[in-house]
Amino acid sequence: MSSPPKLRVIGRSEVLPRPVLEQAAADLPFDIEFELIDSVKGLQRVVSSPETFDVYHQWHTVDLIWTARAVQAIDLSRIDHANLIRGQALGRQGDGRAMGSVFNQLFLQPSGALGSAPTDRIVMLPLLHGVDAFAYLPSVIREFDDGTPNSWGWLLDPRLAGRVSIMSDPVLGMIEAALAVEAAEGIRIADVGNLSVEEIDIIVDILLRRKKLGHFKTIWGNYRECARSMQRGVVLQSMFSPALAMLRSQGIPVISAVPREGYRGWHVDLCISSAAKGGQLDAAYAYLNWWMNGKGGAVTTRQGYYFAQPELVRPHLSAAEWDYWYAGKPAATALSDPLGQPAIAPGEIREGGSYFERMSRVRVWNAFMDEHTYLVRRWREFLEA
Amino acid sequence: MARAPSDGSKPYYQIVREVLSANVANGNLPIGTRLLTTAVADRLGVSRPPVKRALELLAADGVVTALSSQGYVVGAASGETSPERTNLHRLQLDLPPELGDNLGQARWERIFEAVEAEILNSIPFGTFQISESLIGEHFDVSRTVVRDVLSRLDARGLIVKDRTSHWIAGPLSARMLDDAHEIRRLIEPGALASAMPLLAEGFLSDGRSTVASALSRSAALSVEEVDAIELELHVDTLDALRNRRLAGAVRLQQVSLVINRLFATYIGLHDEIEMLREHALVYDHMLLGDADGTSAAMRHHLDADHARSRARLKVLSVFDAAEIAPYLIRIH
């Protein structure tokens, strides 16, 4: 027999904090090589060289990587707790608000297309999801009248000029910019998750003008840069929840917005390379099932992510953690971030409330839009201006 | 990456140089023949600048010799005999298709096709500025010809002028694909039905059996094989049309052929069974002489193909690294 397989995993740094890497390595009987790639290079690798990885933590790109046949269908009979996934797929039919984006393209249909009707094969294993909004420092409140509801329009508010930051990712950045333009300029956008050429032009032209006026202090690429920009004079910006946890554990009183226009929803899932076979494929399934034991999801809960099957992570969380992160109750004790640093003080309540309340307020899901080619080139024009 | 060759990418002076050199070597242009730039240009149907450059290079190679008076002579110049003043049109020369077939075609037309192909190959990957002077250098033609080419590309909707008067191409949007598809599905099925009775005997059965053997093969097809199958149904059939304007109008809307070829090049070919089955259906209707069925089957194929190429454009959108022509300058 050949030597024991080494599993090659690609994912973003936010999704794979150090304790997750360590726990997976300790629990699984083979070596794992994690490659953390935060830029589009990860996706380029995945679609053009499936033979260079075994598992990919995908991020709103499932239609695209399936078109490229860079991933293979996952056999649900080999996945632990698969009944929970089928149950969710059926159960959500009465509740289209939450998780729509996860299930709409989950099951491989007999035609070869992706769809929501449950079958025995899925193209990704639903893993993590959540909602994002911008965040701000308490000083920002003083710029607005008492009781002004949080709005995505604040990202473009002239009162904050020079102290605002936005993220560089074209998909997420453009969605947030669209929400901001809609709120600040009173422009109606038909579908924020699928912008037209004209809408992209309107949004980028506004961003370009603001950038030239010095409105944006920085543009950040990953959660570390995100946290750093707020340590360096930015008072309001796009936010990823790991950065929120990081800033709070450093004592910076950053507030996560609850925008009246709703949240930007996201999900991260597991895909198996179309090239994985034999021992590599077995290892890939073992890695997927390691996630289904809930330990990894418990770690990422502490940075604000929801697990696809919350009941699987509950046994690995303290009652106080469950109550704060999922139930929306005040923290009964001090709570730590994934690295064990204290991040939540006793008595604090999560902005936006419980799991259900927060997920119910998704306005738009991260999505590769039909006009992605056009979007990305115009977005680059904004970044390079 | 490998790229589909585009006709006309070789500079004209190079073509002329090779043609003259070959015709000297095989004796079509005998030693002692006088070569004047104007006369050679007229004989080959090209402009003078590439001929002038080609003759200079051939002189450096020793194939021809510059005369003190005017022009060149084939071989080494001898002081005694004066060079032969031959009417070059009387000489039987071996001419490559780049020159021979296109004698009646305007110069801009040949370059137009090359530039159009390069632009279509590039714009799924970004926005490009087009350099007039570099096109002139690349093809060895005058500004007048370049402007002619660019104004036709403008009319074709492929390039626009920006505020600073630079020609810009791209990025290719899904909207452009949608627009092209909307027009194409209106005219290509009808054009095919009109061409059907004019197609040479055997053409259809050959096309059908190519598709059948591709369908029965277990191994994946090559990019070239798929390309040939696509061209046979979408381009070669229309050669039979008497109405050249209709054939030309259809060709202008076949953007998805480019997307599919780029996808195969960058990502690799996958399951093309759907495409093959759709082609088979079109051929079957044509073999029965069923014009309405042919149109309907073609419309179905175009719609399905549009959905595929739209999805494929999305995949291409994550890449940057197109190999681009020297006269295209990436700006975003």
> A40 and B311 in contact by Cβ < 8 A?
no
At B71-88, the pLDDT tens digits run: 899 998 765 566 677 788
B202 domain-assigned: yes
Distance from the A385 Cα atom to the nearest Cα atom in chain B, whole angstroms: 11
Among A377, A382, A384, the strongest candidate for a mutation testing the B interface, having the largest count of B CBs within 10 A, is: A377
The answer to whether A384 contacts chain B (CB < 8 Å) is yes
| CB nearest B174 (choices: A40, A43, A371) | A371
Could you tell me if B186 and B250 lie in one domain? yes
Residues in A closer than 8 angstroms to B317, CB to CB, are 368, 372-373, 376
Query: What average pLDDT does this structure show over B52-62?
Result: 92
Could you tell me if B50 and B194 lie in one domain? no
Residues in B closer than 8 angstroms to A43, CB to CB, are 318
CATH of the domain at B177: 1.20.120.530
Could you tell me if B233 and B269 lie in one domain? yes
Per-residue pLDDT at B123 exceeds 80: yes
Query: Which residue range(s) make up the domain with B68?
Result: 12-100
The answer to whether B124 contacts chain A (CB < 8 Å) is yes
B98 pLDDT band, cuts 50/70/90, is low
B163 domain-assigned: yes
The segment with the largest mean pLDDT, out of B17-31, B92-106, B281-295, is B281-295
Cα A369 to Cα A176: distance, rounded to the nearest angstrom = 14
Residue type, A236: L
The answer to whether A275 contacts chain B (CB < 8 Å) is no
Could you tell me if B146 and B242 lie in one domain? yes
pLDDT digit of tens for each residue in chain A (385 aa)? Answer: 456 679 999 999 999 999 999 999 999 999 999 999 988 899 999 999 999 999 999 999 999 999 999 999 999 999 999 999 998 888 765 454 456 688 889 999 998 899 989 999 999 999 999 999 999 999 999 999 989 999 999 999 999 999 999 999 999 999 999 999 999 999 999 999 999 999 999 999 999 999 999 999 999 999 999 999 999 999 999 999 889 989 998 999 999 999 999 999 999 999 999 999 999 999 999 999 999 999 999 999 999 999 999 999 999 999 999 999 999 999 999 999 999 999 999 999 999 999 999 999 999 999 999 999 899 989 999 999 8
B85 domain-assigned: yes
| CB nearest B319 (choices: A44, A197, A377) | A44
Establish whether domains A6-123+266-292 and A131-262+361-384 are of one fold: yes
The answer to whether B319 contacts chain A (CB < 8 Å) is yes
Residues in B closer than 8 angstroms to A196, CB to CB, are 175
B1 domain-assigned: no
Residues in A closer than 8 angstroms to B265, CB to CB, are none
Where among B75, B100, B125 does a domain terminate?
B100
B155 domain-assigned: yes
Could you tell me if B162 and B263 lie in one domain? yes
Confidence (pLDDT) at B2: 35
At B138-192, the pLDDT tens digits run: 888 889 999 999 999 998 888 999 888 999 998 899 999 999 999 999 999 999 9
| CB nearest A373 (choices: B171, B270, B311) | B171
Could you tell me if B132 and B72 lie in one domain? no
Could you tell me if B56 and B173 lie in one domain? no
Distance from the B219 Cα atom to the nearest Cα atom in chain A, whole angstroms: 17
Q: How many CB pairs under 8 A join A and B?
A: 66
Number of domain units in chain B: 2
Where among B54, B85, B100 does a domain terminate?
B100
Could you tell me if B272 and B303 lie in one domain? yes
**What is the largest distance, in Å, between two alpha-carbon atoms of chain B?**
75
Distance from the B177 Cα atom to the nearest Cα atom in chain A, whole angstroms: 10
B201 pLDDT band, cuts 50/70/90, is confident
Query: What average pLDDT does this structure show over B240-253?
Result: 93
> A381 and B174 in contact by Cβ < 8 A?
no
B105 pLDDT band, cuts 50/70/90, is low
CATH of the domain at B63: 1.10.10.10
B6 domain-assigned: no
Q: What is the domain partition of chain A in residue ranges? A: 6-123+266-292, 131-262+361-384
Q: Which helix (H) or strand (E) holds A310?
A: helix A310-313
Could you tell me if B237 and B325 lie in one domain? yes
Bridge partners of B35, per DSSP, are B72
B3 pLDDT band, cuts 50/70/90, is very low
> B314 and A48 in contact by Cβ < 8 A?
no
Could you tell me if B50 and B170 lie in one domain? no
B7 domain-assigned: no
More confident residue, B123 or B270: B123
Query: What ipTM describes this predicted complex?
Result: 0.88
Could you tell me if B162 and B82 lie in one domain? no
| Average pLDDT of every residue of chain B | 87
Per-residue pLDDT at B243 exceeds 80: yes
B4 pLDDT band, cuts 50/70/90, is very low
Could you tell me which CATH number the domain at A131-262+361-384 has? Answer: 3.40.190.10
Confidence (pLDDT) at B78: 67
Confidence (pLDDT) at A300: 97
Class of domain A6-123+266-292: alpha beta
Query: What average pLDDT does this structure show over B186-214?
Result: 95
B23 domain-assigned: yes
Where among B78, B100, B122 does a domain terminate?
B100
Could you tell me if B242 and B322 lie in one domain? yes
First to last CA, chain B: 21
Distance from the B61 Cα atom to the nearest Cα atom in chain A, whole angstroms: 46
